[in-house]
Structure 1
Amino acid sequence: MTAGNTGSDTPGNDDPFGYLYRSEGGEGGAGGDGATRQQGVPRTSYNQVRAVGERQYGGASQQSGPGRQNASYAAPETLPGGERARTPQAGPPAPPQRNHKGLLIGAVAVVGVVCIAIGIAMLNNSGKGADNKAQPSETVSASEEPEHKPTEKPSKTPLPKDDAGSLKLGGTAATSKDIPGARSAGGVYVGGMNTPGASATWTLNVEEPGAYKMWVGYGVPGKDQNLTLTVNDKRDPRPLNMGNFANAEEGAWDKWTSTWQRVPLNKGTNTVTLSCEDGNKCDVNIDQLWLEKKIA
């Protein structure tokens, strides 16, 4: 018995699943070889045994294997290299990457340019303010233009200073230039003051009334001396101290020094008199008189 029948020609003995592997061929419609079925002849197997690897496409048998090639189809794995022979499919293109570093550098550059421009503008404005005065936005006529008069500061007259040659002398007082070192012009000084009644009067002018510090340049023969001081016909109760501040040796007249006394003066003309009176030690020479400053 073969697959597909029971050895009987009875139709009921046919394999009910024979249609699955039976090929209908020929005029009788049975048998894979196209032969006409004859009654009383047992059916042959409907199986058509083929060699392993043999495939049928479009009614033609093709044998795969070494030395044979299927013209209609070849599996990728049968090609040389197998899986490696497959050409990989290109995927979708990757999205472009943004250059964040370039954007940051560009932003910093823009900020730098803006800062430089602001600095230049500030320098220009400051330069204009220093060198050039801003021009008015409206034109002003000559008649409407305000007058800019310079502020006149009162001229401050230097305080008076005179040499002995300009003094008014009285009594035995007289000018001389025998002793060297006098600081007045030409070395002229006033001597002969050692006799009572001898005097030297200084006339001076001041712009402001008040008390001033008056200096007297003099020389003594190594001993302390003094004179009477009279200001604007008013005698000062304190004599003018003319000590041996230069530490001159006794009898040495060439060591010149100076002393000062507070004197009250009026605005305008004033007179200051140095005189030898009773009770004074008047052995003194005078070379200069000057005011230093106003004091309280």
Structure 2
Amino acid sequence: MTPGNNGASTPEDDDPFGYLYADGQANGAQPPSGGYGYPNSVNRVRTVGTRPYGQQQAPAQAPYGQAPQQQGAYGQPNAHYAAPETLPGGATTTTMHSDGHGGRGGHGGHGGRGGRGPNTKGLLIGAIAVVAAVVIGIGVAMVGGDDDKGDDGSRANPAPTQTEDSEPSPSASKGGDSEAELPTIDAKALRLGPGLSTASEFEGAKADGGTYVTGFNQVGAKVTWSVDGIKKAGNYRLYVRYGTPGTDANATLVVNGQAESRPLNMENFGGTPKGDWEKGWKETWSNVRLTKGTNTIELACNEGNQCEAVLDQMWLTGEQGA
């Protein structure tokens, strides 16, 4: 090699325009026909899409004084850049004409490479079908939600309520329907022992005329109730309505001559103010055993009892839970 010559040219040293210069022509550079630059140079293929489709490549300018090399007859496509369908054995595009006959694709309204566009009508139909399905589903759910309602809009066959499937419990107070046949008595109808009387000074008594028994706060005081009309022997509950001046009291209960072991509790339930008789009205009860027919019930103030109380009413009920 000589200082000005590095040997045979390599692809990276090719000068695609070497044929335009004297030294390039001296080294054998020729206008490009398949490659560029010098003989045996690498054929540098163009990147796909860099050459417009269907256009004829302009012939490279020949060296000064030489006629440019023809790449083909006028009007003939270049073999290097021809479309696949123009080459021998290339693909053809067949399009159905309006008369039902197929033909080769080409220029004009009967052929081409594009084909049909996106099927927007099919997409629209699909979207409408989805919306319709959702609407139908909602309608079915709404109709199904009303199936368990009756004609009047209420739900059919509801679970039975407490008042529908059970009898009302017997009243524990005077006047209950289930106890209408059991006796009751007001204070003025009681048989009073010595030293007792009726009064109506303190308001709040429920006995007829607002009367109550007073003078019970003394040993030996006693009131008696002769109970008639007990139809069946058994256990009953005796209620007593009384009043205290904000203090606790009690008394001895005697049934058919037999004193009960426990005194009748007449406590100041609720803690009403001391000395206030009008706010001191209370109720208490005790279970008693009665015989069929007539029974005698006594309420007495004996030794050991605290009897500062007035008496308003008495009544019987069936024993709770009996």
TM value normalised by structure 1: 0.46
Question: Bigger radius of gyration, 1 or 2?
Answer: 1
Query: What TM-score results when the alignment is normalised by the length of structure 2?
Result: 0.43
